[in-house]
Structure 1
Amino acid sequence: MSPSFPIRTECPPGACECDRERLLADPEADLRVLMLTKEEEKKLVARLENLADLAELRRFEERIRAQLGIVIRVEPGAREVRTARGIAIEVEARPGLCRKTRQTIPAAIRRSLEKNPEIVYALLNARDLLGDA
């Protein structure tokens, strides 16, 4: 059965381990992740690079989870956080999610954090790591 919405094109053989074909073959599979076409991914990355505050980041995490089924976690790292590089950004692996996309989304969020350090401070303060400093 073919989905009724445009889906992401197939990755070159050997370039990805997204299991797209196995996902398409399963009639019970959640195909929402395939709705993230390359064009839509570019739009998403552009939006993620221009986040204004922590609340907007959290809204994006929820919308991406609800609309595409992609789970993104943005948390202070296990070790000391001195820069935006110390923030742990994880995109959960799932069938149909391209390896390159799993690298692109965190990179876009990291660029946004570096542009707006207020987001990093709010993220740290939400965990009470700054102690209202």
Structure 2
Amino acid sequence: MIADMDTPPLRQPCPPAVCICRHRELLDDARGDRRILRLTRHEERRLLERLENLQDLDDLRHLQRRMHEQLGIRLEVAPGHHEVRSARGIAITFAEQAGLCRKTRRAIPAAIRRAMERRPEIVWRLLDSFDLLGGA
């Protein structure tokens, strides 16, 4: 059987009982949002590299929009409920989504935090966008 050249490559499923991604379930459901399956391991590495090299808060917001448009990933980046003293105090959460691998759920926030540690002005702008600096 020859693969359709118009069909993008899909992510290979995680081994059974190792992940919570529900990859097979998503493939079997014709009505499900399959965009996340376009995030192959190669594309995931490219995304993580891009996230690690964020330039500013606008760049982060742009990537959040693109991840939602292209992959269906809803990513929320906001100050945590407790005092924020570093990039570790920023809450990075995902909306529930079938097909999003457990490892990817850990790797994306880690890449964003590394970018924030390299460029603390991203954290400051984020805090300011929530008016947590009080106009300082």
Indicate the TM-score class for this superposition, using the shorter chain for normalisation: over 0.9
Q: Aligned pair 1:132/2:131, yes or no?
A: no
The CA RMSD measured in Å over matched residues stands at 1.4
Letter in 1 for 2:44: E
Structure 1 distance, partners of 2:96, 2:14, is: 16
Structure 2: which 5+ runs fail to align?
A: none
Q: Alpha-carbon deviation of 1:92?
A: 2.2
Identical aligned residues as a percent: 53
Query: Which deviates more from structure 2 when the two are superposed, residues 108-117 or residues 12-21?
Result: 12-21
Tell me what 1:45 maps to: 48
> How many corresponding residue pairs?
132
AA partner of residue 117 (structure 1):
P
1:24 maps to amino acid: L
Letter in 2 for 1:27: A
From 93, 113, 116, the counterpart of 1:110? 113
1:82 and 2:78 correspond: no
Task: Work out whether 1:17 is the aligned partner of 2:24.
Answer: no
Stretches of structure 1 lacking an aligned partner (at least 5 in a row)? none
- Pick from 91, 95, 120: which aligns with 2:123? 120
2 CA distance for matches of 1:91 and 1:50?
Answer: 20
Q: Partners in 1 of 2:7 and 2:32 — Cα distance?
A: 14
Paired with 2:119 and 2:94, the residues of 1 have a C-alpha distance of 21
